[in-house]
Structure 1
Amino acid sequence: MRIGVDVGGTNTDAVLIAGRRVVASTKQPTSADVSSGVTAAIRAILADAGVPAADVSAVMVGTTHFTNALVERERLDRVGIIRLASPSGEALPPLTGWPEALARQLSGSIFLLPGGYEVDGREIAPLDEAAVRAAALDCHDRGIDSIAISCAFAPINAAMEDRAGAIVADTCPDANISLSHNIGRLGLIERENGTILNAALASLARHVVASLERALADLGIAAPLYISQNDGTLISAADAARYPVLTIGSGPTNSMRGAAFLTGVDNGIVMDVGGTTCDIGVLAGGYPRESSIAVDIGGVRTNFRMPDILAIGLGGGTRIHLPPEGAATDDFAIGPDSVGFRLTEDAWLFGGSTLTASDIAVAAGKASFGDASRIPTLTPALHRAILDKMAAMLADGIDRMKTQPGDATIIAVGGGHFLIDDDLKGAARVVRPDHAAVANAVGAAIAQVGAQAERIVDYDAEPRAAAIEAMRADLLARVIAAGATPESVEIVDMDEVFLSYLPGRSAQLRMKAVGNLADEAGAAALPVAEARHAH
């Protein structure tokens, strides 16, 4: 049996899954110390199902702690930044374009050192090992333990970056070292930005992972712990502690993967309605469509793998600002502010005095919870106008995410999915699966192990078939090493873009592989494609 947990800012959701069946689910308040909220959620589902802790084969967790830390700019480490790209890579120094306050908070020391490669693999300059060692000593003397190392075109050739990391580790054994080729894609600035953010999260990542491991130990669960990544696959807890930035988009991704599992719909649009926002994403082949542009995280441009998500300010706790007395009926506003986790205190439904989207929905008979008699009476015209505007916001979100004409299949999940009408404009049909409110935890529980690689290949020097097969073999080996059963590993995505600006027949290859984790008996868990009839 697997346990999936999603630690949100308001609630911690947990599910227990046996094979293709959701056995138990729960929502518990998220705790400040992480572990007690997770412990309460897991204890609740084990008790509900009557399952002993020894029967749990794996625990998968998705968390928003790292995203919140970056957005709120709390508990972040100072970072020593080493860029290997001089002399040609000095035009835009590190932290260019960052919010000034965040750059000032994180910046420890910046070193622009010789090194790096051109796009065709030629060295920009040899690595200056003495300069790297001096930079490491400077950081150590200033009490900076988190080091971000980036090298021009490191995803093509990581040798120089790896060597610099080894020098820093030898000089400062206690340093937390982030290497850019493990985090981002080819673009130097965006990849470096992601590496700096990763280094800034080092201490918090160790704390969060230790808290999760402590929660499992307190429950007597000896099963391995995995953390869900931005692309819907899993990494070990140890890897998550080293590369927390790879997990910051796991919340929406888990919801989309859970939606695909619960419905059997591999291609469609997922609308995950929470307390504050509605996150809209596209499913392609059972996986979230990845963003093809730079992703903004806390005001910083990055280029690591992230789902293509549109967040609109409409959730169950969204405030409805009524028009002043005597004003026109349409002179009202929906959000973008929300009562969030205070919904059960502030909303009229629960005895509060704030009109929310949930109040409007319950008054219209779209949901049934709280005490509808407490909701203030609105004129039919105003009530209808608010409902119409909410529907228009959701329909506009669908239009903005579609890439093909015509109506799309919509999967409605999240605690506020009742805000989505069955006849929503742009929807061919609206699917509401069982356990929709905890789809995020389901997505974590059924996640697979994955790996992705990116290279630039000259087909005149290396035949196309040989280059593709070499990348394929490397990816399959990496996924198996991460814990997947060999027979389940497969390539699920490959991009090939020919580069006209390089001599010869050069192409950029990108490939993704996934595989299923084995359960305690050694049998692989079912992938989404085989689990589609579970409900």
Structure 2
Amino acid sequence: MSSYRIGIDVGGTNTDAVILNEAMEVISATKIITQDNISEAILLALKEVVQQADIPTQQITHAMLGTTHCTNAIVERKHLNRVGIIRIGAPASMAVKPLIGFPEDLQSRLGNEVYLVRGGHEYDGREIVPLDKQAIYDAARKMKGKVDSVAITSIFSPVTQDHEEAAQAIVKEVLGDDIPISLSFEIGSVGLIERENATILNASVVNVAKAMANGFIAALYEEGIDCQVYFGQNDGTLMSVEYAMKYPIYTIACGPTNSLRGASYLSDVENGIVVDVGGTTTDVGVLVDTFPRESALAVEIGKVRTNFRMPDLVSIGLGGGTIIRIKEDNTFTIGPDSVGYRLKEKAMVFGGDTLTATDIAVFLGKANIGDYNNVAHLNVPLLEKIYQQMIAMVENAIDQMKTSGEPEAVILVGGGSVLFPGQLKGASNVYKPENFGVANAIGSAISQVSGQVERIYSLDQFGRFEAIEEAKHLAIEEAIAAGANPDTCKIVEIEDVPLAYLPGNATRISVKAAGELLK
């Protein structure tokens, strides 16, 4: 019996959906406008793609979703959990309090249950002071009935997790096993404040993730689909429903990474630069052996500085719906605002009254969308100048992502990529593969499941070989926990960085493992 899989990706402008057969060939694809209700867009896309495919729904075995639910919740400050925050680090970390740098409106949404208790470790695993268990009990009792989830962070927990795990056991004892608890060593990297911030944000969107998962499963059930469900995470791989509800922050930026994975699959290019052109923005990322290159920098989410795993991307305010403004002196501006999902209502080629990037491309014969007659009266020389500036914006973004002056393969994907030509400065080849408009949904559907760990090891205590082997074992365990088939798990990335600023021959080891989906 044939089997099929569904991939859905929610973007700011469109929600794309595809169904792939066993040979990973696209048998149906659709693009639905993402309106204010994301769940409604997912349901509509699901209905349409299933109807187009005309296959028995019982033969659909897997469904994957890449979604902006958690990103939107943080940015818009909506539907967030009240978070109980415990930092294990007194007296060493008293000078800088938790939530430092959080915008006031976000702080007010999270509540004010913040506790600093004695404990924490040195970089080499030695206790700074013993964990104050009584203070954890007291904090948990004060939180009761006031919080929906708890974030626990301890100094140097990526080295030694004992205090975070002991605190978790106490909080569960007081608040019950059902309270969602986020531990910082499982989420962020070294760097107390940024790791704590990422952990707090993760705890804040747990209920959003639950609602997202339940809504997706309900939508599948409504269509008569009973299958394994996975969510896209921001390293270009997938995770199970249970894993996604524990680590919902990993869904942030999964859309661009799905596009990168889909672009690699469609073009058969393993290393290169992907330009994903949507309705509002263009995201430019780098493929390294078919996976997105990871950012080495701290990133801001909702104006909060964090250090958890994120793809290395450059985003520019240019897409199919980008608004072009021409002034009386024939100067012009390109965006960064966009008509977004209202393109077919607002753009001139569709009878609207707003000049967009799509109108420019249609007038110059670069794209065949809407009605050319609606833009036939426009000024030719000026529009050519605007178009060249649009191309220059993309070429500059490509240059930003390159690590050398050599030309590299460039893959154009996303619905808005029809606006751009087959030649770009800095590109050795420009690929625009078949089904480029739904590369994000395809990337979601074809992805593997991964697990990643990052630890600091003192090589005076561990040998380098033993440290790497332990990190490999932990990464494979993470991949299996996220939903990978244990028989197919393998190590796909190892990074070993000596930390000269720490004594004891310290090194930071990061390992990623990936495997195929469970059948």
* TM > 0.5: yes
**Number of the residue aligned with 2:390:** 390
**Number of the residue aligned with 1:523:** none
Q: 1:54 aligns with which of 46, 54, 58?
A: 58
**Number of the residue aligned with 1:166:** 169
Q: 1:402-421 residue pairs with structure 2 within 5 A? A: 402-421=402-421
Does residue 6 (structure 1) correspond to residue 45 (structure 2)? The answer is: no
**Number of the residue aligned with 2:448:** 448
Hey, what's the Cα distance between the residues in 2 that align with 1:239 and 1:431?
A: 35
Q: What's the CA shift for 1:256?
A: 0.4
Could you say if the C-alpha distance between residues 11 and 225 of structure 1 is closer, same or farther in structure 2, counting changes exceeding 3 Å? Answer: same
Q: What's the CA shift for 1:42?
A: 2.3
**Number of the residue aligned with 2:494:** 494
Secondary structure at the aligned position of 2:150 is classed as strand
Q: Which amino acid aligns with 2:57?
A: A
Q: Which amino acid aligns with 1:503?
A: P
Please give the per-residue CA displacement for 1:68-101, whole angstroms capped at 9, x wherever unaligned.
1111222222222110011001121111122232
Q: 1:343-492 residue pairs with structure 2 within 5 A? A: 343-375=343-375, 377-492=377-492
Gap runs ≥5 in structure 1: 520-535
Q: What's the CA shift for 1:412?
A: 0.4
Contact 2:295/2:309 (8 A) holds in 1: yes
Contact 2:348/2:354 (8 A) holds in 1: yes
Q: What's the CA shift for 1:226?
A: 0.6
Hey, what's the Cα distance between the residues in 1 that align with 2:479 and 2:179?
A: 28
Contact 1:280/1:310 (8 A) holds in 2: yes
Secondary structure at the aligned position of 2:234 is classed as coil
Q: 1:163-202 residue pairs with structure 2 within 5 A? A: 163-173=166-176, 174-202=178-206
Hey, what's the Cα distance between the residues in 1 that align with 2:471 and 2:84?
A: 33
Q: 2:148 aligns with which of 118, 132, 145?
A: 145
Does residue 232 (structure 1) correspond to residue 257 (structure 2)? The answer is: no
Report the aligned-residue RMSD.
1.6
Gap runs ≥5 in structure 2: none
**Number of the residue aligned with 1:112:** 116
Does residue 92 (structure 1) correspond to residue 96 (structure 2)? The answer is: yes
Contact 1:495/1:511 (8 A) holds in 2: yes
Q: What's the CA shift for 1:131?
A: 0.9
Hey, what's the Cα distance between the residues in 2 that align with 1:496 and 1:287?
A: 19
Hey, what's the Cα distance between the residues in 2 that align with 1:477 and 1:340?
A: 41
Q: Which amino acid aligns with 1:9?
A: G
Contact 1:349/1:374 (8 A) holds in 2: yes
Q: 1:278 aligns with which of 265, 276, 282?
A: 282
Q: What's the CA shift for 1:368?
A: 0.7
Hey, what's the Cα distance between the residues in 2 that align with 1:278 and 1:22?
A: 24
Contact 2:124/2:504 (8 A) holds in 1: no
Hey, what's the Cα distance between the residues in 2 that align with 1:503 and 1:332?
A: 56
Hey, what's the Cα distance between the residues in 2 that align with 1:217 and 1:423?
A: 45
Hey, what's the Cα distance between the residues in 1 that align with 2:407 and 2:52?
A: 40
Question: Which is further off, 344-353 or 468-477?
Answer: 468-477
Does residue 127 (structure 1) correspond to residue 131 (structure 2)? The answer is: yes
Q: What's the CA shift for 1:248?
A: 0.8
Contact 2:12/2:280 (8 A) holds in 1: no
Contact 1:34/1:208 (8 A) holds in 2: no
Contact 1:16/1:23 (8 A) holds in 2: yes
Hey, what's the Cα distance between the residues in 2 that align with 1:474 and 1:177?
A: 20
Question: Which is further off, 370-379 or 205-214?
Answer: 370-379
Question: Which is further off, 343-352 or 131-140?
Answer: 131-140
Contact 1:256/1:287 (8 A) holds in 2: yes
Q: What's the CA shift for 1:40?
A: 2.7
Q: What's the CA shift for 1:35?
A: 4.2
Q: Which amino acid aligns with 2:154?
A: C
Could you say if the C-alpha distance between residues 200 and 473 of structure 1 is closer, same or farther in structure 2, counting changes exceeding 3 Å? Answer: closer
Secondary structure at the aligned position of 2:32 is classed as strand
**Number of the residue aligned with 1:68:** 72
Q: Which amino acid aligns with 2:344?
A: T
Q: 1:226-265 residue pairs with structure 2 within 5 A? A: 226-265=230-269
Hey, what's the Cα distance between the residues in 2 that align with 1:164 and 1:138?
A: 15
Contact 1:394/1:420 (8 A) holds in 2: no
Q: 2:319 aligns with which of 311, 315, 321?
A: 315
Hey, what's the Cα distance between the residues in 2 that align with 1:9 and 1:75?
A: 19
Q: Which amino acid aligns with 2:152?
A: I
Secondary structure at the aligned position of 1:43 is classed as helix
Contact 1:79/1:196 (8 A) holds in 2: yes
Could you say if the C-alpha distance between residues 80 and 376 of structure 1 is closer, same or farther in structure 2, counting changes exceeding 3 Å? Answer: farther
Question: Which is further off, 64-73 or 462-471?
Answer: 462-471
Hey, what's the Cα distance between the residues in 2 that align with 1:183 and 1:408?
A: 33
Secondary structure at the aligned position of 1:184 is classed as coil
Q: 2:210 aligns with which of 206, 221, 225?
A: 206
Hey, what's the Cα distance between the residues in 2 that align with 1:149 and 1:424?
A: 48
Please give the per-residue CA displacement for 1:188-237, whole angstroms capped at 9, x wherever unaligned.
11111011111111222211111011111111211111111111111111
Hey, what's the Cα distance between the residues in 2 that align with 1:440 and 1:286?
A: 14
Number of aligned residue pairs: 514
Q: Which amino acid aligns with 1:113?
A: V
Contact 2:282/2:317 (8 A) holds in 1: yes
Hey, what's the Cα distance between the residues in 2 that align with 1:147 and 1:474?
A: 24
Could you say if the C-alpha distance between residues 145 and 334 of structure 1 is closer, same or farther in structure 2, counting changes exceeding 3 Å? Answer: same
Hey, what's the Cα distance between the residues in 1 that align with 2:504 and 2:248?
A: 39
Contact 1:33/1:211 (8 A) holds in 2: no
Q: What's the CA shift for 1:29?
A: 3.1
Contact 1:34/1:211 (8 A) holds in 2: no
**Number of the residue aligned with 1:517:** 517
Q: What's the CA shift for 1:11?
A: 2.4
Please give the per-residue CA displacement for 1:338-377, whole angstroms capped at 9, x wherever unaligned.
0001111111111110000000001111111111111262
Contact 2:297/2:307 (8 A) holds in 1: yes
**Number of the residue aligned with 1:522:** none
Q: Which amino acid aligns with 1:140?
A: K
Question: Which is further off, 20-29 or 52-61?
Answer: 20-29
Contact 1:34/1:212 (8 A) holds in 2: no
Could you say if the C-alpha distance between residues 226 and 210 of structure 1 is closer, same or farther in structure 2, counting changes exceeding 3 Å? Answer: same
Contact 1:46/1:52 (8 A) holds in 2: no
Q: Which amino acid aligns with 2:450?
A: G
**Number of the residue aligned with 1:341:** 341
Hey, what's the Cα distance between the residues in 2 that align with 1:122 and 1:36?
A: 52
Q: 2:273 aligns with which of 236, 260, 269?
A: 269
TM-score w.r.t. the length of structure 2 is 0.96
Q: Which amino acid aligns with 2:169?
A: A
Secondary structure at the aligned position of 2:144 is classed as helix
Could you say if the C-alpha distance between residues 219 and 32 of structure 1 is closer, same or farther in structure 2, counting changes exceeding 3 Å? Answer: farther
Secondary structure at the aligned position of 2:113 is classed as strand
